[in-house]
A and B are shown apart, each in its own frame.
Chain A
């Protein structure tokens, strides 16, 4: 079993829809949870960064972390064609020695 599981998609939704992206994980030591957006032939770009459980909102993006269920989500409201990309979840333990573990990414396409 992988430490971080993410549905690869592809996921295709119409413009303006609410998008829900999810990851599950198995390591209860993870403390930091991230979402990266990666456009084709570009490096990952940090979107959301949260510590421990709870919600965090930034513009059209909301990240949720449920540590009891080992489940994290990213919601995109009023989705735009420019949101079409691969979304990677990532997580890390609390110690300086722990490394970031990435999900395999979900490919998202927003139809105009």
Chain B
């Protein structure tokens, strides 16, 4: 079974520029998550999709971050404009369902550096 795929693996941009990340979840997984992991911290949920609908985006900084999952499979996360504090690893995860009984499986993330 192929895992969660993410690209790019690394991205370096200057502050105020824009950037986009892509995620392809495990086949058949209805729920997709984007997390932000700052160095030395655990992942923090930014947004959760169930198929192509948003379940939870309470911790997404909506003035600069946006995400979509148009066909209920792939997803993109965008930051515009980027700030220095956005330097982090952006992780995508997927699960069969959104309940606690379904574990989440993570991709290897995109490491973002803001200069």
Binding site for B on A (CB under 8 A): 4, 6, 8, 31-32, 34, 36, 41-46, 49, 51, 88, 90, 92-100, 102-105
Q: Which of B12-20, B43-51, B64-72, B73-81 contacts A (4 or more CB under 8 A)?
A: B43-51
14 further interface pairs, Cβ-Cβ under 8 Å (given A44-B91, A88-B42, A100-B45)? A8-B40, A32-B101, A41-B108, A43-B107, A51-B101, A90-B42, A95-B100, A96-B97, A96-B100, A97-B56, A99-B56, A100-B104, A104-B40, A105-B42
Q: Is B103 an interface residue (CB 8 A)?
A: yes
CB distance B40 to A43 under 8 Å?
A: no
Residue with the greatest number of chain A CB neighbours at <10 A, chosen from B4, B43, B93, B111: B43
B111 — which chain A residues lie within 8 A by C-beta? Answer: 41
B100 — which chain A residues lie within 8 A by C-beta? Answer: 31-32, 51, 92-96, 98
CA distance A16 to B91 in the complex (A): 32
Interface of chain B, helix or strand or loop or mixed? Answer: loop
Query: What residue of chain A has the Cβ atom nearest to residue B42's Cβ?
Result: A102
Residue with the greatest number of chain B CB neighbours at <10 A, chosen from A41, A46, A96: A96
Which residues of chain B from 77 to 104 have any CB-CB distance to chain A below 8 Å in the complex? 91, 93, 97-101, 103-104
Binding site for A on B (CB under 8 A): 4, 40-45, 48, 55-56, 91, 93, 97-101, 103-109, 111
CB distance A49 to B40 under 8 Å?
A: no
